[in-house]
Every structure is written in structure tokens, then in C-alpha cells.
Amino acid sequence: MSTLAEAEAPPPLAPVPTEKPPRRRGRWTPYLLLAPGLIWLLVFFAMPMVYQASTSVQTGSLEEGYQVTWHFATYWDALSEYYPQFLRSVLYAGTATFLCLLLGYPLAYLIAFRAGRWRNLILILVIAPFFTSFLIRTLAWKTILADGGPVVGALNSLHVLDVTSWLGLTAGDRVLATPLAVVCGLTYNFLPFMILPLYTSLERIDGRLHEAAGDLYATPFTTFRKVTFPLSMPGVVSGTLLTFIPASGDYVNAELLGSTNTQMIGNVIQSQFLRILDYPTAAALSFILMAAILIMVTVYIRRSGTEDLV
């Protein structure tokens, strides 16, 4: 439930209204406009959180029922047993985020500055995968990366798989059920969440700043390094957050494209909840994941210093 709660977290942003200049007779208007969002947050975010928090400190069994016993040891037990999956989640999500940035930035740059009349078409193509289900798209990767398929065959004949196997990313002639497959799936599935914020912040940059930099002896590359990239930092930060946060809690990619050796924390939480039915451990893991993400994000935002950007 907690992974779901995290996946739900972004939508409540939508109904927050922009306030109109207050008129004397409309004193209650802002509150009325806020109400749907607040009620939504209360019912679907705050209440489940409280419920899960209490579950995480309960003890008992399915047959005898659970009681709140303030058993905080569950947190420690969960962490010491599943820390490899935590680390793997951070590593996979981090790698996928980095790859998304690497792939997404040039495309966002192209759409913002060079696409001309093709801009809207490319944007639609970026969003187009959302028209099919997340699951189907991930399953498609099973076919793409299938053993003996053209992709694996090509990678094999180019000896790419030798290198990735040596790095421990793939195993032998297989790509499926390896870390590479999981990271590929994560990268693919979250790429639009990187491209769109990057595009938005690049598109806002005044083209005359590029001209001004060129006029002041900056080569095109220096212009990018000193003007374009710093000004696109808000997009880089929000894009990496929108990619990293859901990717680190994701379990579908590891489930469908990975193996038992590539389990992420999402898979553990899912099986604790739905298969092993150990609700306290599942809830504790969810809270640990949430806290870890919060700390990492806070440090990241502080370090990138984007509050200072206009």
C-alpha cells in the first residue's frame, strides 16, 4: 500500500488553485477551491499514512490478529535483513536517472531550440507511450531483450555482452533477468518524466542569451556550459527527482525483466504485503524507503542550489 501511496503522491498537486485577487464577497472562495484537494489528500494520503504507521509498530499474527505494541525493532530487523535490496534500489534508480538525463537532455534541447514546426509532433511522440499501459510496455521489453532475439544477437556479435558480463551487468548470453535489463526498463519507463521538465525549463530560456554569449566570445560549447546548462538547472533537478523517486520505489521492472538477484526494495515490500502477509515488516520497509528518499532529495536540492535560480 505504501508504494502505492507514493505513486499517488504527485496527483494531489493538480487541484491546488491559484488565488484570485481577493474580493470582499468571495472570502470563502479560496477555501472552497482548496477543499477538494485537501479532502483528497486527507482520505488518500494522510489517513493511509497514519494507518501504515500504526501497522509498522504492531505485532501478532494473521490468525490471532495484530496489536499495536510499539515494537520499533521491526524497523531495525527489516533494515538489517533487506539492506542489499535498498542499496540495489538506489543504485538502479540512480543509474536509470543518470541514463535518462543523458538521453533526455539532447532530445529536450532539440525540441526546445531546433525542432521548429516539428516541436509539437516530437512532444506528442514523447508522451505517446503513455497511451498504452505501463505493464504492456514493460512486457514488450521482454520480447525485445528475449534470448536469441535480434537485439541480444547484435549485442553478442559486437561483443558488447562480453564487456557487460565482465562488469557484472549481464550473465553470459542473456540480457533478460540481469541488472542491465532492469535498468533499461527503468530508463525507458521514466524517460518522459525527465524530458518534459527539461524541455519546459530549456524552452523558457531567452534565445537572445545565446546570441549575447556568442557576441561575448563564447563558443557554442562554452555558451552551453556557462549559460544554457546553468539556466536549465531547475529542469534538471525536477527531472531527476521525478525519475529517481518513482524509480527507486518501482517493482514492476525488476519483477518482469529481472531475477531474484535483481530484486529491488519495491519487490520486497510487495511480497511482504501480498505473499508473506507480514504487514508490519512491509509497512516498516515503506517508511524506511520514504525517509531515505526524503533525506536524499533534501540533500540534493540543497546542494544543487536551485532556490537561487530565477
- CA dist., res. 229 & res. 201, Å (int): 10
- CA dist., res. 135 & res. 138, Å (int): 5
Q: Does 295 bind other proteins (CB under 8 A)?
A: no
Alpha helices in 204-264 (DSSP H): 207-215, 220-223, 229-231, 233-249, 252-257
Q: Does 131 bind other proteins (CB under 8 A)?
A: no
Q: Contact with other proteins (CB under 8 A): which of 63, 64, 206, 307?
A: 206
Q: Does 301 bind other proteins (CB under 8 A)?
A: no
Q: Does 114 bind other proteins (CB under 8 A)?
A: no
Q: Which is nearer to other proteins, 20 or 204 (CB)?
A: 204
Q: Which is nearer to other proteins, 87 or 209 (CB)?
A: 209
Q: Does 298 bind other proteins (CB under 8 A)?
A: no
In the complex, least distance from residue 310 CB atom to other proteins, rounded to whole angstroms: 5
In the complex, least distance from residue 140 CB atom to other proteins, rounded to whole angstroms: 41
Q: Does 33 bind other proteins (CB under 8 A)?
A: no
Q: Which is nearer to other proteins, 136 or 310 (CB)?
A: 310
Q: Which is nearer to other proteins, 213 or 269 (CB)?
A: 213
Q: Which is nearer to other proteins, 3 or 223 (CB)?
A: 223
**Interactions with other proteins, residue window 230-259 (CB under 8 A):** 230-231
What end-to-end distance do the CA atoms of the chain give, in Å? 38
Q: Does 22 bind other proteins (CB under 8 A)?
A: no
- CA dist., res. 12 & res. 240, Å (int): 20
- CA dist., res. 310 & res. 305, Å (int): 11
**Which range touches other proteins (CB under 8 A), out of 25-33, 121-129, 211-219, 261-269?**
211-219
Q: Which is nearer to other proteins, 64 or 215 (CB)?
A: 215
Q: Does 222 bind other proteins (CB under 8 A)?
A: yes
Q: Amino acid identity of 280?
A: P
Q: Which is nearer to other proteins, 170 or 228 (CB)?
A: 228
Q: Does 213 bind other proteins (CB under 8 A)?
A: yes
In the complex, least distance from residue 5 CB atom to other proteins, rounded to whole angstroms: 36
* Residue 258 near residue 30 (C-beta atoms within 8 A): no
Q: How many CB atoms lie within 10 A of CB 11?
A: 13
Q: Contact with other proteins (CB under 8 A): which of 215, 260, 275, 307?
A: 215
Q: Does 47 bind other proteins (CB under 8 A)?
A: no
Q: What are the backbone angles phi and psi of residue 180, rounded to the nearest 5°?
A: -60, -45
Q: Does 208 bind other proteins (CB under 8 A)?
A: yes
State the residues that interact with other proteins by CB under 8 A.
206, 208-209, 211-219, 222, 226-227, 230-231, 309-310
